[in-house]
Amino acid sequence: EKAVNLKKDLAEMQEWMTQAEEEYLEKDFEYKSPEELENAVEEMKRAKEDVLQKEVRVKILKDNIKMLATKVPSSGQDLVTELNVVLENYQLLCNRIRGKCHTLEEVWSCWIELLQYLDVETAWLNNLEEKVQMTGNLPDKLDAVNDALESLESVLRHPADNRTQIRELGQTLIDGGILDDIISEKLEAFNARYEELSHLAVNRQITLEQQLQTMRETNHMLQVLQENLADLDRQLTSYLTDRIDAFQIPQEAQ
């Protein structure tokens, strides 16, 4: 009777493993939304816990069958053979579910990381757009133009590492058919805005550099002119002080 019960337990265990394999490993999942992906991750976590919880039952079954085989070799040997098959299948099931759970967790982590990089780069684009707008109506002063140029150049020195990460993470998920429509849309919008603002900012940078150069040249000319006028003023003052007749001084002084 004990052998019959143990045989029944082995059959039930094998049946449960077959159902678990069909439910968790053989279904074709399509992750077209973050909600679907997140639900799949949670489901695989529960599956992993469920399978691992059966470890105690498997161990008890194993101990009982080995004990029976020791006491009644004739009845226990066949059960030991069936047990070995069940143990092998159970270990394989555990490994496959662990692997799938790990894969889905990695995919979810990849998606979250992509969103974080997009948030960082979007904040940078907002800052860049603000700096470009601030340079649109500057006072006609050298310091104001110089400060605006330095501020814009500081933002443009933003490293390209984050964009590389966004491209690689997005491509990895798209290649796996995971959230491909959503990611493609996000990347297309981000890249379009990046190209537009970068082009606009570089053009504004060139304009400011040219404006700054012109203002510096103009200031230099004014400085030279002021110095020449000051020299002439000193010369004329000395003529007046010495009471020199206008016809006695050079033509330009007259």
Q: How high is the pLDDT of residue 64?
A: 86
Q: Is the pLDDT of residue 254 over 60?
A: no
Calculate what percentage of the chain has a pLDDT beyond 90.
58
Q: How high is the pLDDT of residue 207?
A: 93
Q: What is the CATH number of domain 1-211?
A: 1.20.58.60
Query: Taking the CA atoms of the chain, what radius of gyration do you get in angstroms?
Result: 40
Is residue 62 within 8 Å of 55, Cβ to Cβ?
Answer: no
Is residue 37 within 8 Å of 31, Cβ to Cβ?
Answer: yes
Per-residue pLDDT tens for 163-174? 999 999 999 999
Interatomic CA distance for residues 125 and 194, integer angstroms: 7
Residue ranges of domains in the chain: 1-211
Tokens coding 243: 């009471």
Query: Would you call 169 exposed, middle or buried from its count of C-beta atoms within 10 A (0-12, 13-18, 19+)?
Result: buried
Tokens coding 58: 């498997």
Tokens coding 205: 């940078």
Is residue 152 within 8 Å of 205, Cβ to Cβ?
Answer: yes
11 SS3 class: helix
Calculate what percentage of the chain has a pLDDT beyond 70.
92
Interatomic CA distance for residues 253 and 245, integer angstroms: 11
Is residue 39 within 8 Å of 113, Cβ to Cβ?
Answer: no
Q: Which residue has 């040997």 as its token pair? A: 77
Show contacts of 179-186: CB within 8 Å, 24+ apart: 179/31, 179/32, 179/33, 179/34, 179/37, 179/111, 180/32, 181/32, 182/32, 182/33, 182/34, 183/114, 186/118
Query: Would you call 21 exposed, middle or buried from its count of C-beta atoms within 10 A (0-12, 13-18, 19+)?
Result: middle
Give one DSSP letter per residue of 74-127, joined into a string: HHHHHHHHHHHHHHHHHHHHHHHHHHHHHHHHHHHHHHHHHHHHHHHHHHHHHH
pTM value?
0.78
Per-residue pLDDT tens for 17-45? 999 988 888 776 678 899 999 999 999 99
Distances (CA, A) of 198 to 117, 150, 156: 18, 16, 8
Closest to 162 in 3D by CA, of 130, 115, 108: 115
Per-residue pLDDT tens for 174-191? 988 889 899 999 999 999
140 SS3 class: coil
Distances (CA, A) of 178 to 24, 30, 100: 18, 7, 15
